[in-house]
């Protein structure tokens, strides 16, 4: 391969990395703002979050196209091929994080008319903070190709699962205490599931980083801390 | 390109198509069996559904690897390139359908200890039947590269969304009638969301078929039948 080709290949990869960093930043911001909108019943902010999602979709499309073009043009092998595949997989996960943040933002509008249970939102906020830190960590791990950090994020997902169990029980309690809480708390149940799934996509990214750097796949089952079946087992999204 | 290369390329595509058909068959069966398990409190069947999911994951991995190898080796253009991309996208959607069916199956175990509300399951069964028909239709549309049929599936997703709204309202009513119904109905709420999301993945496949055959993307927003924001708006998963 001539130096000219090598360097333009490196430029391809750099461009992919930049776009993924941009996607990560947008997804993180969407999650934070969606939670702010929900907690403050701020429908204007909620609409802004929803509008932001189109940028994330466009970036994913661009990353997929660029990665495939790079594979077809340069026929990369081993780690270079994995770079392209990893970029596509991570972009798909970050796009889903944005979708999930968007759906939390949409709940803001739906809960406006309901009897409010402000204490029910506290647990959700803690969940969102943990999910946001995990997302930030995994994006740093990707930028630095840091396998150990990626594995730490992966292992740490149990914390989010445990928090969801706790939020689930609290919400059920609020509903049983007063039927007027049922509608509001049902919306929050879906939000808590959305945050837990953001955690799943974050661990998918962690798995992709391990694959990218080592060529190996993580075990197919994530640690569950020996918990019995709970709501958070719902839709574990394992990276294939 | 020599005839030898052309025919081995065709063989690559045929192998991809066969694997996707296999995935589709498994995903359809998983959904049907997961609903049977749920409706009949059949934990043994539920466990079988959960176990089947590993085959689906393995097939997705194989399809992704084969498609990328084909892109790297044969550098296909236009529709041939789209065949490979479409195979990867459809495999990812079918893998998610399996995950969602699996999570319905898992609810079977969780609801065993709850006070049962059999009439609450009726609406879910209707939803699952519609979702199953849609899935079958879209797989046929893929096998025949039938754009019109794919578009019909895409448009028909509104029916599933409307059914979910109705199921959501019914479940809320059951919960408000008697707090002892809350836990059981909450699990069914998640099941109904899972079925609705299976519908989203089915429409993603429909969009991929249109892209594959025409090279064009569908509009980014699906028809919603002019409904106000409802639970089923939760996590629309648009194909990027």
| Residue A220, pLDDT score | 57
DSSP conformation class of A234? T
Report if residue B240 sits inside a domain.
Answer: no
In a domain, B157, yes or no: yes
pLDDT tens-digit series, residues B72-101? 888 887 788 889 999 999 999 999 999 999
Instruction: Tell me, yes or no, whether B162 lies in a domain.
Output: yes
Q: Residue A96 to residues A181, A201, B239: CA-CA distances in angstroms?
A: 29, 7, 10
Query: What are the CA-CA distances from residue A74 to residues A11, A89, A114, B63, B67 (Å)?
Result: 12, 19, 56, 21, 16
- Is residue A240 domain-resident? no
Q: For residue range B206-221, what is the model confidence (pLDDT) as tens digits?
A: 999 999 999 887 665 5
Query: Which residues in chain B are contacts of A31 at CB distance < 8 A?
Result: none
Within-domain flag for B175? yes
Bigger pLDDT: B20 vs B231: B20
pLDDT at position A233 is 44
Predicted confidence (pLDDT) at residue B130 exceeds the cutoff of 60: yes
**Which residues, other chains included, contact A230 with Cβ-Cβ below 8 Å and sequence gap of 6+?**
A161, A164, A165, A168, B110
Number of structural domains found in chain A:
1
pLDDT in the model for residue B1: 46
Rounded CA separation A180/A17 (Å) = 48
Sequential DSSP letters for A27-94: HHHHHHHHHHHHHHT-HHHHHHHHHHHHHHHHHHHHHHHHHHHHHHHH---HHHHHHHHHHHHHHHHH
Per residue in A163-206, pLDDT (tens digit) is: 999 999 999 999 999 999 999 999 999 999 999 999 999 999 99
pLDDT score, position B234 = 47
Whole-number average pLDDT of chain B? 88
| A240, pLDDT greater than 80 | no
| Residues of chain A found within 8 Å of residue B190, distances taken between Cβ atoms | 189, 193, 231, 234
Answer yes or no: is B239 within a domain.
no
- Best mutation target among B47, B72, B237 (most A Cβ atoms within 10 Å) is B72
Domain extent for B47: 3-233
Structural domain includes residue B144:
yes
Size of interface A-B (CB pairs under 8 A): 112
Residue B133 pLDDT greater than 90, yes or no: yes
**Cβ-based contacts of A238 with chain B (< 8 Å):** 57, 99
Residues in B touching A92 (Cβ below 8 Å):
92, 240
CB contact under 8 A, B72 and A75: yes
Whole-angstrom Cα distance, residue A45 to residue A56?
17
The ipTM value here is 0.84
pLDDT over 70 at B238, yes or no: no
pLDDT digits (tens, 9 = 90+) for A30-82: 999 999 999 999 999 999 999 999 999 999 999 998 998 888 888 887 788 88
CATH number for the domain that contains residue B175: 1.20.58.220
What is the rounded distance in angstroms from the CA atom of residue A122 to the CA atom of residue A167? 9
Summarised one tens digit per residue, pLDDT across range A99-152 is 999 999 999 998 988 878 888 899 999 999 999 999 999 999 999 999 999 999
Predicted local distance difference test score (pLDDT) of residue A80: 83
Q: How confident is the model at residue A238 (pLDDT cuts 50, 70, 90)?
A: very low
Contact A172 B193 (CB under 8 A): no
Q: Which residues 178-237 on chain A approach chain B with CB closer than 8 angstroms?
A: 179, 182-183, 186-187, 189-190, 193-194, 220, 229-231, 233-237
Q: How many CB atoms lie within 10 A of CB A137?
A: 19
Nearest to B85 among A68, A109, A172 (CB): A68
Per the domain annotation, does B238 fall within a domain?
A: no
């Amino acid at each position: 391969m001539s130096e000219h080709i090598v360097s333009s290949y490196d430029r391809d990869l750099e461009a992919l990395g930049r776009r993924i960093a941009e996607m990560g930043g947008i997804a993180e911001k969407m999650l934070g703002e969606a939670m702010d909108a929900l907690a403050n019943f701020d429908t204007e902010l909620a609409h802004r979050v929803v509008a932001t999602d189109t940028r994330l979709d466009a970036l994913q499309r661009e990353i997929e196209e660029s990665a495939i073009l790079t594979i077809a043009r340069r026929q990369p092998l081993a780690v270079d091929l994995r770079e392209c595949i990893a970029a596509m997989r991570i972009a798909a996960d970050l796009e889903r994080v944005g979708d999930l943040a968007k759906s939390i933002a949409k709940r803001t509008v739906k809960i406006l008319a309901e009897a409010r249970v402000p204490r029910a939102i506290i647990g959700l906020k803690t969940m969102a903070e943990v999910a946001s830190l995990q997302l930030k960590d995994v994006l740093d791990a990707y930028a630095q190709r840091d396998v150990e950090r990626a594995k730490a994020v992966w292992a740490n997902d149990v914390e989010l699962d445990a928090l969801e169990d706790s939020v689930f029980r609290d919400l059920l309690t609020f509903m049983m205490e007063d039927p007027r809480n049922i509608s509001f708390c049902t919306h929050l149940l879906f939000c808590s599931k959305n945050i837990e799934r953001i955690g799943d996509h974050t661990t998918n990214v962690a798995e992709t980083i391990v694959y990218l750097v080592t060529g190996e796949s993580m075990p197919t089952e994530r640690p569950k801390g020996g918990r019995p079946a709970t709501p958070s087992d719902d839709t574990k999204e394992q990276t294939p």
